[in-house]
Amino acid sequence: MKHFETSEQTLPEHKGVNLFGVDPLIIQDHYDIDYRHSYAQDSPFFVGLSKGDLLGSRCTRCQYMYATPRSHCMECGAATTWEKLPLTGCVHTFTVCHYGSESFLKETPFILTLVEFKNVNTLFLTRLKNISPDHVHIGLPIRPRFAKAPTFKVTDVWFEPLGLT
């Protein structure tokens, strides 16, 4: 078995993958794919993001309010309808991520937060930007921000502290 020394220099390429080290294994690879899919019943949520609206789901029977798309209520099983969420909330809890999926690697470290909205029964998971992790606290008032050029993905919305312009 060939042993590679761990170093910052690039080791020999193999099928487009650059090997940087083996203990731990560190590689560089390119990932690119075209993929067509439907958001189906969740389509209004993503269209809403493109318009600067954050949509949740309300049960037509028991009125349970979800901060994320749901076609049917988890409490009673009835169908839900779309409803705009408040444009302010607060940090329920948060974590600082030092690693993430491909979409977020360039942003590491980044803050993930669960947003609590008034009169909404569930929480909304999103990124919290424009604040140092040292200044984030539970109860911090925050608001959503939307991508100027929508991509119809969950990354089109993030939150920031209330009061920033």
Q: In this prediction, what percent of the chain has a pLDDT beyond 70? A: 90
Domains held by the chain: number: 1
What is the per-residue pLDDT for 14? 47
Three-state SS sequence of the chain = CCCCCCCCCCCCEECCEEEEEECCEEEECCCCCCCCCCCHHHHHHHHHHHCCCCEEEEECCCCCEECCCCCECCCCCCEEEEEECCCCEEEEEEEEECCCCCCCHHHCCEEEEEEECCCCCCCEEEEECCCCHHHCCCCCEEEEEECCCCCCCHHHEEEEECCCC
| The predicted structure's pLDDT at residue 8 | 52
Whether 149 is covered by a domain: the verdict is yes
- Owning domain of residue 49: 41-161
Question: Is the per-residue pLDDT at 138 higher than 60?
Answer: yes
pLDDT at 24: 83
Give domain status of residue 155, yes or no: yes
Could you tell me if residue 71 is inside a domain?
yes
Summarize pLDDT for 99-134 with one digit per residue, the tens: 888 778 888 899 999 999 999 999 999 999 999 999
As a whole number, mean pLDDT of residues 6-22 equals: 62
User: Is the pTM above the cut of 0.95?
Assistant: no
Query: Quick check: is 15 in a domain?
Result: no
Residue 96 has pLDDT above 60, yes or no: yes
Q: How confident is the model at residue 69 (pLDDT cuts 50, 70, 90)?
A: very high
Over residues 23-58, the pLDDT tens digits come to: 788 878 777 788 888 889 999 999 999 999 999 999
Does residue 16 surpass a pLDDT of 80?
Answer: no
- Is 29 inside any structural domain? no
Q: What pLDDT is attached to residue 165? A: 62
Domain-embedded: residue 17? no
Residue 14, in any domain of the structure: no
Residue 144 lies in a domain: yes
